[in-house]
Amino acid sequence: VLGTGRIARMFHLRALRAAGADVRLLADPDPDALAAAEAQAPAAATTRDWADAVGRDDLDAVVVTLPSRLHAPAAVAAFAHGKHVYVEKPLALDAAEAGAVVTAWRDAGTIGAVGLNFRFQPLVLDARRRVAAGQLGRIVAVRGTVCSPPRPLPGWKRSRATGGGALLDLAVHHLDLLPFVLDDPVATVAAHLHSVRTTDDTALVTAVTAGGVGLQLVASASSRQTDRVEILGDRATLTFDRFSGGRVEVRPVDGASDRRDRAEAGLAELAHAARRVARTVAPADEPSFRAAIGAFLRACDTGVQHRPSIADGAAVAVIVDAAERSAARGGPPVAVAGSG
Ligand SMILES: NC(=O)c1ccc[n+]([C@@H]2O[C@H](COP(=O)([O-])OP(=O)(O)OC[C@H]3O[C@@H](n4cnc5c(N)ncnc54)[C@H](O)[C@@H]3O)[C@@H](O)[C@H]2O)c1
């Protein structure tokens, strides 16, 4: 495990242990981060730098949970040593770097996964199934909101050059998820960036899919924790919020069942209150990390590549590039390379 910071200790090390993986090595220059990780993987050796780790013969696979600017260099080096690689999002700082990771992955012929773990989220999978089954009718438009609260950020998240900013850190999740739920890739994108507390920590993105559906996305590191998706169809609408309600709500567009809607909303409130109580006594859990790491480990065992792969991570990097070009020019729509 390369980088044993906040997220590795919250999710990846737990998920690896739950899956029965043999964690051999932890790499981090921060002694506190390393010591806290050692408590979760006592049999593992330790080292200070990822670069000392990737070449070791006793490792089959590496999990890259480094600051984002180190994702691409660490992944390229690990592939060059023939390792399987799970690399956190964003895959790289830009599309050119992402392309180098794709080349290294294809040359290695090993398993390459990107940490767009919300593709494994039960709410997302439920929404995707309902869209595919036609429950919403024709899709009219999609809105996403992905925000994290204004908490102190590690230094590297405060600047775009080291992987900070709302597009790279937060929007990447929905830029992957919304097209995934619709099964319809992004064709053009327009963006407006805004600095509330740190550089470009807020982004407004509008995109149009190859199928002509409009997507609207707000991503911010300076507001209430939210991960909300709203899909408007001509037969029904679908909404879910991972942090509020925790279930997929489908409502017919004809509005015939007002009393039932109100009763359902009341029940959802009660369920939400119960979950909030449960969360105060249990550690934070997000099942998609466990599912994503589990899928990666199974792929390493079987040799069968799964998704989201390195190529999926690179596809998001291409959308982010286009969004940044749009924002730099004042927000006109920009074609996403390769989408045509
Ligand atoms: N999938 C998700 O939902 C999700 C959520 C949070 C974070 N992430 C991603 O995970 C990554 C880590 O995020 P975090 O919040 O844990 O950040 P963090 O800063 O807490 O952790 C990064 C760790 O890497 C260590 N590090 C720095 N240089 C190193 C080196 N040369 N060798 C080894 N270790 C080194 C740091 O000391 C730190 O402990 C980021 O890329 C972030 O985008 C993904």
Environment class of residue 16 by beta-carbon count within 10 Å: exposed (0-12), middle (13-18) or buried (19+)?
Answer: buried
Q: Is there an atom of ligand 1 within 6 Å of 158 CB? A: no
Q: What is the DSSP track for 52-74?
A: GTTT-TT-SEEEE-S-GGGHHHH
Q: Best mutation site among 4, 7, 116 for ligand 1, i.e. most ligand atoms within 8 A of its Cβ?
A: 7
186-194 and 139-147 beta bridge pairing: unpaired
309 Cα–ligand 1 center, Å: 20
- Residue nearest ligand 1's atom 33 by CA: 28
Q: What pLDDT, in 10s, does the model give residues 263-286?
A: 877 787 777 677 666 665 555 689
Q: Are the CB atoms for 229 and 177 separated by under 8 Å?
A: yes
pLDDT of res. 12: 98
- Residue nearest ligand 1's atom 31 by CA: 49
Q: Where in the chain does DSSP place strands (E)?
A: 25-27, 45-47, 61-64, 84-88, 112-115, 139-147, 186-194, 202-209, 214-220, 226-233, 236-241, 249-252, 334-335
| Token pair recorded at residue 10 | 């919250």
134 secondary structure, DSSP code:
T
CA 248 to chain CA centroid, Å, is 19
pLDDT means per 10 residues in the chain (340 residues)? 98 96 98 98 97 96 98 98 98 98 98 98 97 98 97 92 95 98 98 96 98 98 96 98 88 78 76 68 79 98 98 98 98 88
Q: What pLDDT, in 10s, does the model give residues 86-113?
A: 999 999 999 999 999 999 999 999 999 9
pLDDT of res. 259: 75
Identify the bridge partners of residue 228 per DSSP, sorted by sequence position: 145, 241
Return the CA Rg of the chain. 20
Identify the bridge partners of residue 252 per DSSP, sorted by sequence position: 236
Cα–Cα separations (whole angstroms), residue 266 to 56, 259, 261, 269: 56, 11, 9, 5
Q: Is there an atom of ligand 1 within 6 Å of 228 CB? A: no
Q: Flag whether the pTM goes above 0.75.
A: yes
